């Protein structure tokens, strides 16, 4: 068992590493960030980092998560209002060059690093997708989302267009885009309108 002093030192090192990881990614970008660089900035040895994290990706995810406010959706009672807020915030994040570069590098590394992919999915993206589904489920109960809509697909209809634009870099992100996407998503997911079938 650790003594109180050892635990305090350990907590301090843990926090220093997360802070160093965050600053390093901010300054150098994800690609040029190294475990060595993070260790040097945090004033610890590489082995201290590897005691808690298995890879650069794993530390960076924790650093990103530490800086994040919350994954839960707002719930004003009106899905359209909440969706517009979330999509404005999400597109703002993707429009930010540094955040976008970090996410892009993580997404790339995920494709041939199953452990990192697992880590991103269970710790970062998974909870966001689950939170979205929770909000959609409550909108379904309120009659604002068609009961027959599959919520996994609904999540993709909401965020998929942003991925398409982001990966192919076809067009920039702005608030008008977030709002136009909100409108189309609400039309896609909303309750089937009587008389509209077969039009």
List interacting residues with a copy of itself (CB under 8 A). 104, 107-108, 111-112, 117, 121, 125, 129, 149-150, 152-157, 159-165, 167-171, 177, 180-181, 184-185, 187-193, 195-196, 199
Output the CA–CA distances (angstroms, integers) from residue 125 to 72, 77, 90, 199, in the order listed.
Answer: 12, 24, 13, 37
Q: Which is nearer to a copy of itself, 19 or 179 (CB)?
A: 179
Q: How far is the CB of 36 from a copy of itself (least distance, A)?
A: 22
63 neighbors 22 (Cβ within 8 angstroms): yes
Q: Which is nearer to a copy of itself, 92 or 125 (CB)?
A: 125
Q: How far is the CB of 118 from a copy of itself (least distance, A)?
A: 11
Q: How far is the CB of 29 from a copy of itself (least distance, A)?
A: 12
Angle at 135 between CA 182 and CA 176, to 5 degrees: 15
DSSP reduced 3-state for 32: coil
Q: Which is nearer to a copy of itself, 6 or 156 (CB)?
A: 156
47 neighbors 38 (Cβ within 8 angstroms): no
Q: How far is the CB of 189 from a copy of itself (least distance, A)?
A: 7
First to last CA, the chain: 70
The tokens for 66 are 């530490």
Residues 6 or more apart in contact with residue 151 via CB below 8 angstroms: 133, 136, 137, 140
Q: Which is nearer to a copy of itself, 20 or 185 (CB)?
A: 185
Q: Which is nearer to a copy of itself, 26 or 117 (CB)?
A: 117
Q: How far is the CB of 131 from a copy of itself (least distance, A)?
A: 15
């Amino acid at each position: 068992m650790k003594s109180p002093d050892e635990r305090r030192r350990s907590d301090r090192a843990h926090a220093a590493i997360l802070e160093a990881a965050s600053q390093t990614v901010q300054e150098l970008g994800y690609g040029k960030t190294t475990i060595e660089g993070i260790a040097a900035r945090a004033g610890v040895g590489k082995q201290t980092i590897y005691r808690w994290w298995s890879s650069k990706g794993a530390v960076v995810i924790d650093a990103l998560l530490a800086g994040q406010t919350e994954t839960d959706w707002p719930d004003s009672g009106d899905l359209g209002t909440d969706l517009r807020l979330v999509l404005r915030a999400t597109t703002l994040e993707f429009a930010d060059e540094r955040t976008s570069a970090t996410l892009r590098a993580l997404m790339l590394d995920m494709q041939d690093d199953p452990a990192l992919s697992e880590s991103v999915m269970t710790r970062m993206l998974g909870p966001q997708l689950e939170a979205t589904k929770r909000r959609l489920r409550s909108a379904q109960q309120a009659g604002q989302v068609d009961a027959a809509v599959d919520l996994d697909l609904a999540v993709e209809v909401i965020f998929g267009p942003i991925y398409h634009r982001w990966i192919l870099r076809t067009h920039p992100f702005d608030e008008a885009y977030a709002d136009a996407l909100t409108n189309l998503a609400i039309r896609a997911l909303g309750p089937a309108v009587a008389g509209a079938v077969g039009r």
